[in-house]
A and B are shown apart, each in its own frame.
Chain A
Amino acid sequence: MKNAICLLMFLPAAAYPNPDYPTGNMSVAVFNFQSDKGANEKFGVADAGKSVASLLACDLSALEPIRVVDRGSIQQGEGSSKMSLGEPITPEGARQIGRALGATSLVSGQILASHAQVIIAAKVVSAETGAATGAMVKGDTSTPIADLISQLGAQVARIAMIQKGVEPTSWAPAAIVGTRERATSLGSNIPHDEVACVLAIDGRVIPDEVEKWSQTQTLLPGFHEIFVRYYDGTASAGHDFVFNAKPGASYEVYFEKGHLSLASLNTPAVPSVGPVLWIRDQRTREPVTAVTQVSFGPRQPGVPTDFEFRGLNDVSTGDNPDFSRSPSLRFK
């Protein structure tokens, strides 16, 4: 017994768990980024800093073993927790905010947008030591904002792991493909293909998307806006979905044919019912987006030329975006 007590006394202090910072728990608090008028206009939102911070928090939540502090408690200023990239923070100040939010790393940042480029810089402060490490991503006008934030998320996650003394890891991209089915129309024996495929990712159009329905498209882990197209050889329908792609996951665009009625076939005034579209996990077959009934359009669906990442608006309302929004996909 005495020996056991002596052993306990001589155990290194690091061997005891720290109740404030449980071993292996990497919890990141993302504060609103600073943005100027140019950035708000560029992203088409009222507060680009808030939107980017919310998106970053969403992306981080997909990167195991990172956990993300609820953005609501941060925005409500719990524990007088205010932080900005432009203000130095003392180790004691970082500890206080970290304790108040239950965070091990504190993230703040700044967005600089001009007509030619977008720069997003982040400061990641250890809530244990106050040590600050930077991260940045840069893109031009053609770089999807979703990819920029995804890349920033991976950098921030690695820093958070290092600040906790954990070996940093890397996260594999996700993948998405389309689906095809052989079908015959009502009242006809001629078979035809029905295809649901990826039309565009974050505004980037995939040329000849129907022919390339089986071609795997990669997605960096995090939030993405996927434009999908359904085509049955004569009619087209489209929809855009916003969802959080998990690292290494495989997804597919899936569809079910709309239930046609004889009335719609015989009466031109009654529009034919379009397909039901959604994106699902290929392994579990569980939907990762809303299952949405869409209408056939008069022409081929296309991506708006003034595309604005819908995730910026969706995510800023909370950490669980509403997937059942009305479709914003336009028809050419």
Chain B
Amino acid sequence: MNPRELDKYLREARVPERPDDYWSEFPSRVVGRARTERVAGIRPAPWRLGAAAALAAAFGLVLGFALWHRHAAPGDAYGSLRDGRVLRELQTRYPGRLQAIIQDGSGLHTQLSDSADVSASDPILLEIRDGKDRRVVVTFSGQLVRCGDRNVMVLSDLGGQVMLVGDGFFWSRQASSGLADVVHIRAERIPNELGRSKPSPPL
């Protein structure tokens, strides 16, 4: 239909027979419908709503995953080892038995004595990088740890400096001897709120 045919069609059209009250209410119905259709016109199509919901859900999942993994990230685990939180928790759980807490590529492990015979010495945090391997060890002055291919004695001095001593091996911040080039060590004393347990006086 072209414009001329349309014009002709409209001119020939007749107004349908309606009661009088229909025409009196007609303007208000037109206004009401126009308002209704305008609102309907700006609503998103149902598929858009679904897509947005799916997107939000996916974002939520990603965010949750990221937050979950952020809590389990090595950096934060290192922090909780470093500030003594993990140590205090495990000391409470295994009083007098905890020899070391070791975090390596396979996770967090504890090294426990069979009986409550571990001396209450200064807690120490060690980070040992041996090539690509990285281990974080929380232990106490006077305990043995594995460093490279040997067992070494961990000691802290009165100034809080840490030293590792083994057969033909020594490491501290001031000096080292017998240390392989690929092995890098960081060490510090951990603040221990539990404190040293003093011996029970004789009764």
Stretch from B8-16, B82-90, B158-166 that touches the partner = B158-166
Taking a contact as CB atoms under 8 Å apart, the answer to whether A110 and B165 are in contact is yes
Which residues of A line the B interface, CB within 8 A?
12-14, 16, 18, 34, 36, 85-86, 88-92, 94, 110, 112, 114, 117, 119, 121, 123, 125, 128-136, 138, 155, 158-159, 162, 168
Taking a contact as CB atoms under 8 Å apart, the answer to whether A131 and B142 are in contact is yes
Contacts of A138 in B (CB 8 A): 174-175
Taking a contact as CB atoms under 8 Å apart, the answer to whether B177 and A90 are in contact is no
State whether A162 and B151 are in contact (beta carbons under 8 Å apart), knowing that A130-B142, A131-B142 are contacts in the complex.
Answer: no
B residues 134-169 near A (Cβ < 8 Å) are 141-144, 151, 153, 155-158, 163, 165-169
Taking a contact as CB atoms under 8 Å apart, the answer to whether A112 and B170 are in contact is yes
A92 to B151, CA, bound (A): 23
A135 to B142, CA, bound (A): 12
**The residue from B144, B155, B198, B202 contacting A121, defined by CB atoms under 8 A apart:** B155
Contacts of A110 in B (CB 8 A): 165, 170
Taking a contact as CB atoms under 8 Å apart, the answer to whether B196 and A136 are in contact is no
For A17, the closest partner residue in chain B by CB is B202
State whether A36 and B168 are in contact (beta carbons under 8 Å apart), knowing that A13-B202, A132-B121, A136-B157 are contacts in the complex.
Answer: yes
Taking a contact as CB atoms under 8 Å apart, the answer to whether B142 and A88 are in contact is yes
Contacts of B121 in A (CB 8 A): 130-133
State whether A16 and B163 are in contact (beta carbons under 8 Å apart), knowing that A85-B153, A92-B117, A132-B121 are contacts in the complex.
Answer: no
Taking a contact as CB atoms under 8 Å apart, the answer to whether A91 and B153 are in contact is no
Contacts of B142 in A (CB 8 A): 88-89, 123, 125, 130-132
7 smallest beta-carbon distances between A and B, as pairs: A134-B155, A132-B142, A130-B119, A13-B201, A90-B117, A14-B201, A131-B121
Taking a contact as CB atoms under 8 Å apart, the answer to whether A89 and B165 are in contact is no
Chain B min CB distance to A90 (Å): 4
Taking a contact as CB atoms under 8 Å apart, the answer to whether B168 and A133 are in contact is no
Chain A min CB distance to B122 (Å): 8
Contacts of A155 in B (CB 8 A): 157-158
Chain B contact residues (Cβ within 8 angstroms of A): what range? Answer: 35 or more
For A135, the closest partner residue in chain B by CB is B157
A242 to B39, CA, bound (A): 107
Contacts of B75 in A (CB 8 A): none
Contacts of A131 in B (CB 8 A): 119-122, 141-142, 196
For B121, the closest partner residue in chain A by CB is A131
State whether A123 and B177 are in contact (beta carbons under 8 Å apart), knowing that A16-B202, A86-B165, A155-B158 are contacts in the complex.
Answer: no
A114 to B169, CA, bound (A): 11
Taking a contact as CB atoms under 8 Å apart, the answer to whether B170 and A121 are in contact is yes
Taking a contact as CB atoms under 8 Å apart, the answer to whether A134 and B144 are in contact is no
State whether A112 and B168 are in contact (beta carbons under 8 Å apart), knowing that A131-B142, A132-B142 are contacts in the complex.
Answer: yes
A92 to B156, CA, bound (A): 21
Contacts of B141 in A (CB 8 A): 131-134
For A15, the closest partner residue in chain B by CB is B201
Taking a contact as CB atoms under 8 Å apart, the answer to whether B166 and A90 are in contact is no
What are 8 inter-chain pairs, A to B, with CB distance below 8 A? A14-B201, A91-B119, A114-B177, A123-B155, A131-B119, A134-B156, A134-B165, A136-B163
Contacts of B199 in A (CB 8 A): 91, 128-129
Taking a contact as CB atoms under 8 Å apart, the answer to whether B119 and A129 are in contact is yes
Best-surrounded residue of B144, B151, B158, B203 (most CB of chain A within 10 A):
B158
A136 to B171, CA, bound (A): 11
A55 to B103, CA, bound (A): 42
B179-203 to A contact mask, C-beta < 8 Å, 1/0: 0000000000000000011111111
Beyond A88-B153, A130-B120: 15 further Cβ-contacts under 8 Å? A13-B200, A16-B202, A86-B166, A88-B119, A88-B143, A90-B117, A91-B120, A110-B165, A114-B177, A119-B177, A131-B196, A132-B141, A133-B121, A133-B155, A136-B170
Chain A min CB distance to B156 (Å): 6
Chain A min CB distance to B54 (Å): 59
